[in-house]
């Protein structure tokens, strides 16, 4: 079975083809990083315009790379939520047009779910596992009991950790996206400054919640003093952020007695987060899994694969009136698509 995946939730236009027997056949990502650099973040209108320009050429390249034509595709999977709505609708419309023209099933995927299940393209992991999701828009902890059985433990109350990386990089005039730049620069700095670790010791309702805006403000105050070297500020910021992520993840694994931890989303590429989580997990006899580096940041292979899982394990498809959502948690998304599916049952009812 060949699944075409489409991902346009933020600033990357991506199309990939996954074959359940052969694996990833193609994985094309058209990045807009250079265009958004001058804004120091993603500028939604520009992202949407770029998606309209890129989506067909990216689709064409994905087919050519896989040496296939559209008639070889069995299922169309697409990111339906969450993201910038002006960006999402381009991918959703492309997916619907293809499904309609080719008369093939249309399978919706949640972007964060796709980041998490991307790990299965490399590792077989037993359920339940703990998922730490760290990206430009999300910082969340879930218990994944099975595919589509997700328990939300907590998330950020303000900035996502990737967003904090990007904002700190902007303060330090380092460029965009900030995560990889700070990651690299931190290797030459020293963790001299003891930045706050927000909510790290919270035992009550914020035990598994995060907050990064106070840390970001503390970095700004320190930067304005012009005392420490930029690389020391970067290293100290990274140490604080990674410390909070690691401490809460290990605490949750121990409290819920979960052996396996999956880290997903763009920030899972971070070298210090990988190192520290592996180190701490080893002390407690836990296993940590990361997606391969090329699948950490946004891509459509993760969408095609998750779409395949949804179709083959649950049989869920949607019709042409299915709406995307800018903001919806992964566990709520599962309820949303189930309700939709049960109310329609057949694609013919949606035309």
Residues that bind ligand KG4 (CB under 6 A): 10, 135-137, 162, 165-166, 177-180, 183, 265-267, 269-270, 297-298
| β-strands 12-19, 2-7 pairing | antiparallel
Question: What is the C-alpha separation between 254 and 278, in angstroms, rounded?
Answer: 15
Residue whose CB is less far from ligand KG4, 14 or 106: 14
Question: What is the C-alpha separation between 336 and 332, in angstroms, rounded?
Answer: 6
Residue whose CB is less far from ligand KG4, 105 or 265: 265
| Per-residue binding letters, 15-54, with Zn ion (x by CB under 5 A) | ----------------------------------------
CB of 19 to Zn ion, least distance (A): 23
Residue whose CB is less far from ligand KG4, 117 or 311: 117
Peptide bond into 177 cis (omega under 30): yes
Decide: is 298 part of the binding site for Zn ion (CB under 5 A).
yes
**Contact assessment for residue 295 and residue 163, using Cβ atoms and an 8 Å cutoff:** no
Strand residues in 41-162 grouped as ranges (E): 75-81, 106-110, 129-134, 139-146, 149-155
Cα 270 to chain centroid, rounded: 14
Tell me which of ligand KG4, Zn ion, none is bound by residue 324, counting a contact when its beta carbon lies within the kind-specific cut-off of 5 to 8 angstroms: none
Site for Zn ion in 118-137 (CB under 5 A): 135
Q: Is 168 helix (H, G, I), strand (E, B) or coil?
A: helix
Element spanning 23, H or E: strand 23-31
Residue whose CB is less far from ligand KG4, 2 or 138: 138
Strand residues in 185-271 grouped as ranges (E): 260-264
CB of 184 to ligand KG4, least distance (A): 8
Decide: is 7 part of the binding site for Zn ion (CB under 5 A).
no
Decide: is 8 part of the binding site for Zn ion (CB under 5 A).
no
Residue with tokens 């407690």: 284
| β-strands 12-19, 106-110 pairing | unpaired
CB of 220 to Zn ion, least distance (A): 26
Question: What is the C-alpha separation between 138 and 155, in angstroms, rounded?
Answer: 8
CB of 139 to Zn ion, least distance (A): 12
State the number of CA atoms in the 13 A half-sphere of 231 facing the CB. Answer: 7
CB of 204 to ligand KG4, least distance (A): 29
Strand residues in 218-269 grouped as ranges (E): 260-264
Residue whose CB is less far from Zn ion, 270 or 317: 270
CB of 114 to ligand KG4, least distance (A): 10
Residue whose CB is less far from Zn ion, 189 or 266: 266
Residue whose CB is less far from ligand KG4, 140 or 166: 166
Question: What is the C-alpha separation between 106 and 172, in angstroms, rounded?
Answer: 44
What burial class does residue 214 get, using C-beta atoms within 10 Å of its C-beta: 0-12 exposed, 13-18 middle, 19+ buried? middle
Residue whose C-alpha is closest to residue 308's, from 14, 20, 6:
20
CB of 119 to ligand KG4, least distance (A): 13
Residue whose CB is less far from ligand KG4, 211 or 317: 211
Site for Zn ion in 134-163 (CB under 5 A): 135
Tell me which of Zn ion, ligand KG4, none is bound by residue 240, counting a contact when its beta carbon lies within the kind-specific cut-off of 5 to 8 angstroms: none
CB of 61 to Zn ion, least distance (A): 21
Q: Which residues bind Zn ion (CB under 5 A)?
A: 135, 298
């Amino acid at each position: 079975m060949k699944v075409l995946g489409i991902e346009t939730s933020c600033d990357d236009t991506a199309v990939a083809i996954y074959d359940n027997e052969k694996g990833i056949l193609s994985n094309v990502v058209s990045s807009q990083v250079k265009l958004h650099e001058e804004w120091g973040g993603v500028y939604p209108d520009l992202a949407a315009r770029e998606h309209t320009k890129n989506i067909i050429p990216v689709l064409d390249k994905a087919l050519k790379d896989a040496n296939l034509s559209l008639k070889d595709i069995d299922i169309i999977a697409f990111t339906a939520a969450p993201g910038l709505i002006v960006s999402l609708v381009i991918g959703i419309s492309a997916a619907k047009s293809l499904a309609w023209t080719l008369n093939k099933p249309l399978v919706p995927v949640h972007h964060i779910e796709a980041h998490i299940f991307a790990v299965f393209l490399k590792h077989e992991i037993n359920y339940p596992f703990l998922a730490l999701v760290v990206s430009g828009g999300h910082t969340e902890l879930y218990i994944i009991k099975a595919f589509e059985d997700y328990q939300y433990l907590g998330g950020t109350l303000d900035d996502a950790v990737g967003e904090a990386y990007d904002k700190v990089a902007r303060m330090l005039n380092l460029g965009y996206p900030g995560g990889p730049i700070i990651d690299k620069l931190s290797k030459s700095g020293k963790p001299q400054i003891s930045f706050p670790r927000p909510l790290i010791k919270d035992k009550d309702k914020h035990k598994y919640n995060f907050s990064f805006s106070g840390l970001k403000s503390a970095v700004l105050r320190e930067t304005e003093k012009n005392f420490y070297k930029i690389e020391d500020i970067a290293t100290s910021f990274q140490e604080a952020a990674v410390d909070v992520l690691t401490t809460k993840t290990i605490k949750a694994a121990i409290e819920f007695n979960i052996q396996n931890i999956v880290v997903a989303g763009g920030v899972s590429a971070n070298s210090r987060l990988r190192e520290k989580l592996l180190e701490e997990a080893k002390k407690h006899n836990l296993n940590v899994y990361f997606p391969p580096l090329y699948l950490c940041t946004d891509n459509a292979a993760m969408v095609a694969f998750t779409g395949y899982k949804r179709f083959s394990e649950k049989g869920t498809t949607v019709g042409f009136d299915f709406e995307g959502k800018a903001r919806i948690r992964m566990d709520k998304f599962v309820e949303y698509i189930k309700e939709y599916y049960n109310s329609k049952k057949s694609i013919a009812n949606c035309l």
